[in-house]
A and B are shown apart, each in its own frame.
Chain A
Amino acid sequence: MARVAVYVTPKAGILDPQGVTIERALPALGFEGVSQVRVGRYITLEVEGAEGEELNAQIESMSRRLLANPIIEDFFVEIVDDREYPHESCGGSEEVIVGEENTPRKAGEHAASPWTAADPYASGEEAAEGGEPEAEGDEDFEKGKEGVITSEDKPPSKAGEHAASPWTAADPFASGKEEVAKEDREAGKE
């Protein structure tokens, strides 16, 4: 079984009203110098049966056809096995501020896979407020949710060249994805 993460982000040049709004809100909280805020979607899934190239092709196809709309979105696929978790492979060493306690934490310490947690949708707020984790493994996950994913040492995607990480590209939003949209449109017209 393969565990897969698909990151979907708005394409270069596409207006992202949520990103713009967040970018405008940050200075009000005292965070200056923030730009290029883009809001995307992070999808995790498990796939049984397919492996290797077949798996890559499957994930790419489902991403193009359903998970992302290549006219307006780029996607980046990460395929991991049971021993590698995407957050760990992403690493991260930035200091982050968690919750209202303003307690600095190292993002890397808390980076954990969403799949190790009992409930991947559990809120991280309780942990930030000092609540007791309920299930084994939750603690890491809940703190991990606050972690900042950086791209410095992110390994190349296994899903193919099209899948450039939004974080590793020199210009994260300009990576020649026009053709992807075009191909998809043509495919859709058949």
Chain B
Amino acid sequence: MTAKTVSGAASAEPGAEAPRRMVNFGIVVFPGSNCEYDAHHALSTFPEAAPHYLWHKDHDLDGADVVVLPGGFSYGDYLRTGAIARFSPIMREVAAFARAGGPVLGICNGFQILAEAHLVHGALLQNRGLKFICHPQYLKVERNDTPFTRRFEVGQVIQVPVNHNEGNWTAGSESLRQIEEQGLVVFRYCDEQGNVTAEANPNGAVDNVAGIVNETGNVLGMMPHPERVCEDQVGGTDGRGVFGSLIDHILER
């Protein structure tokens, strides 16, 4: 897909804006994905974003500047969450894109797929309480030097909903050491004041991890749903920071 440009008639008028560089977001749709429309809608509220869908059987990313793996229940969560989707044809392209430094955002089931594909550390277990959880959740921003968090401050508390049954992130001791050393955690579950406590941890994730990046910082997996808080009328706009950061990242590149 080519980037959208303003119409010829408009650009011919004196004083009209120059054609705007659009940021192509490729939203991967797996059988069982169910948050792709939310992601598409949220992105469509940004004038600089051009979202489009990518079918999981596609073999190219259709010119995407950013790849989004949306939430849902890919392949019915059979075997383990994300375990089957990880082997979809497009994941080969997504992995190559990620290796080349392209930004990849995995939300909820997308995070589970990234973990199964070893594009981020760890794995997602069933929630500690064995219950599906669905509620607004405070998150502490740990880093703002990633393509996903430029519009946030370090230590900022944002509110983003969680909506999952397998969000209990864990990793082997070697991975945990590496994550700690390299500071790969981007979001942690916290309370309203930003205290990262066991009480504020909704699912039992190790060290309250809600979102982590890979070593090169260009792949983010997060359980909460930023695409659901991009408009005031749906209860919040804290999610805009994630997509806005990605847009800034691409446009300034």
| Distance between B208 CB and nearest chain A CB, rounded to angstroms | 14
A14 x B170 contact (CB < 8 A)? yes
- Chain B CB within 8 A of A2 CB: no
The reply on B125 being an interface residue by CB < 8 A is: yes
In this assembly, does B130 line the interface, its C-beta being within 8 Å of a C-beta of chain A?
yes
Complex contacts, A181 vs chain B, CB 8 Å: 172, 174
A118 sits at the interface (CB 8 A): no
- In the complex, the chain A residue whose C-beta lies closest to that of B117 is A188
By a CB distance below 8 angstroms, the chain A residues around B170 are 14-15, 71-72
**A182 and B123 contacting across the interface, CB-CB below 8 Å:** no
Q: Which B residues, 100 to 153, have Cβ-Cβ distances below 8 Å to chain A?
A: 116-118, 122-123, 125-130
Interface bits A62-80 vs B (CB < 8 Å: 1, else 0): 0000110101100000000
Q: Which residue of B lies closest to A65 (CB)?
A: B87
Taken residue by residue from 76 to 94, chain B's Cβ proximity to chain A (1 for < 8 Å, 0 otherwise) reads as 0001100100010000000
Give which listed residue, B79, B87, B117, contacts A67 with CB less than 8 A.
Answer: B79
Known A17-B130, A18-B130; contact A188-B118, beta-carbon cutoff 8 A = yes
B188 CB, min distance to chain A CBs, angstroms: 18
Bound CA span A184–B122, Å: 12
B77 to chain A, nearest CB (A): 13
Q: In the complex, what distance in Å separates the CA atom of A121 from the CA atom of B87?
A: 27
User: In the complex, are the beta carbons of A178 and B172 less than 8 A apart?
Assistant: yes
Q: Cβ of A185 < 8 Å from any Cβ of B?
A: yes
- Nearest residue (CB) in B for A72 is B123
Contact B172 A182 (CB under 8 A): yes
How many A residues face the partner with a CB closer than 8 A? 18
User: Which residues of the other chain, A, contact B11 by a CB distance below 8 angstroms?
Assistant: none
Residues A21 and B125 in contact, CB atoms below 8 Å apart? no
Question: Taking CB as reference atom, which chain B residue is nearest A14?
Answer: B170
Most buried by B among A16, A18, A178, A185: A185
Which of B80, B87, B128 is close to A15, meaning CB atoms less than 8 Å apart? Answer: B128
Other A-B contacts than A14-B125, A71-B122, A181-B172, 18 sampled, CB-CB below 8 A, are: A14-B170, A16-B125, A17-B125, A17-B126, A17-B129, A17-B168, A17-B204, A18-B126, A66-B79, A66-B83, A69-B116, A69-B123, A71-B171, A71-B172, A72-B123, A178-B173, A188-B117, A188-B118
Q: B174–A182 contact, CB under 8 A?
A: yes
By a CB distance below 8 angstroms, the chain B residues around A182 are 172, 174
Q: Are B128 and A17 in contact (CB under 8 A)?
A: yes
Q: Determine whether the beta carbon of B130 is less than 8 Å from that of A21.
A: yes
Q: Is the CB of A15 within 8 A of B172?
A: no
Measured between beta carbons, the chain B residues less than 8 angstroms from A188 are 117-118
Specify which chain B residues have a CB less than 8 angstroms from the CB of A83 in the assembled complex. Answer: none
| Chain A residues near B80 (CB-CB < 8 A) | 69
Contact (Cβ within 8 A) A66 B87: yes
Whose C-beta in chain A lies nearest to the C-beta of B130? A17
B204 / chain A contacts, CB cutoff of 8 Å = 15, 17
B175 adjacent to chain A (CB < 8 Å): yes
Mask for A149-190, Cβ within 8 A of B = 1, else 0?
000000000000000000000000000001001101100110
A182 to B129, CA, bound (A): 28
Which residues of B (30-82) have their CB < 8 Å from a CB of A?
79-80
Taken together as a complex, chains A and B put the C-alpha atoms of A69 and B126 apart, in Å, by: 14
